[in-house]
Amino acid sequence: MARRDWMSSRPAPITPLSARLIGYGGLVPFAGTGIVSWFLWPSETADAVLQVQLVYAALILSFLGGIRWGVAMTHAGDFKRRVPDGLGTKLALAALPALGGWLALFTMREAAFVVLMLFFAAQAISDIRMVNNDEAADWYRPLRLQLTFFVELALAASLVLTLSQ
């Protein structure tokens, strides 16, 4: 059985500081809305803050899908006569996170949190595959795993709060 990169003796990839700062900065709205809603619970303001968190999560899913779209376009290269095999599938899959996030906003709040959590997990798995297929930099894997962990934690905490009504 082949050893995975994370089990090898190679040094861990160095994530660019700019990617870490922007990525972790993107967690602030998740944490901020979660903390504020816990302190203000139960109130109309807490309900509004949870809705803001859901909308932000849907936006971030759209962003992640956009990354996938860009990677698919980059790896498709310049073609004049024939579209590369699988390009349509890759582009369609890249559009799913945005669609899933948008649809989640039209469901009951509890369901929205669950749907968003599932989409973030699926997107992380997809992004890890992208790295494993050499379509993205090695440093993207640990960054995505760390960011996804904290997003999932924030959404789960908000789901627990919502279920406590």
The answer to whether residue 25 sits within a structural domain is: yes
Confidence grade of residue 119 (pLDDT, cut at 50, 70, 90): very high
Work out the number of other CB atoms within 10 angstroms of the CB of residue 118. 13
Whether 131 maps to a domain, the answer reads yes
Q: In this structure, what DSSP letter does residue 15 have?
A: -
Within a domain: residue 12?
A: no
**What is 38-87 written as a DSSP string?**
HHH-SSHHHHHHHHHHHHHHHHHHHHHHHHHHHHHHHHH---SS-PPTTH
pLDDT digits (tens, 9 = 90+) for 18-76: 999 999 999 999 999 999 999 999 999 999 999 999 999 999 999 999 999 999 888 77
Residue 22 lies in a domain: yes
- 86 versus 33: the higher-pLDDT residue is 33
| 71 belongs to a structural domain | yes
Quickly state the pLDDT bin for 12 (edges 50, 70, 90).
confident
Q: Dihedral angle at the C-alpha atoms of 27, 29, 34, 37, nearest 10 degrees? A: 170
In angstroms, rounded to a whole number, what is the distance separating the alpha carbons of residues 164 and 73?
44
| Contact (CB, 8 A) for 158 and 113 | yes
State which residues form the domain around 156.
18-77+85-163
In angstroms, rounded to a whole number, what is the distance separating the alpha carbons of residues 63 and 41? 30
Residue 106, judged by CB atoms within 10 A of its CB (0-12, 13-18, 19+), counts as exposed
pTM (2 d.p.): 0.89
Counting the structural domains of the chain, the total is 1
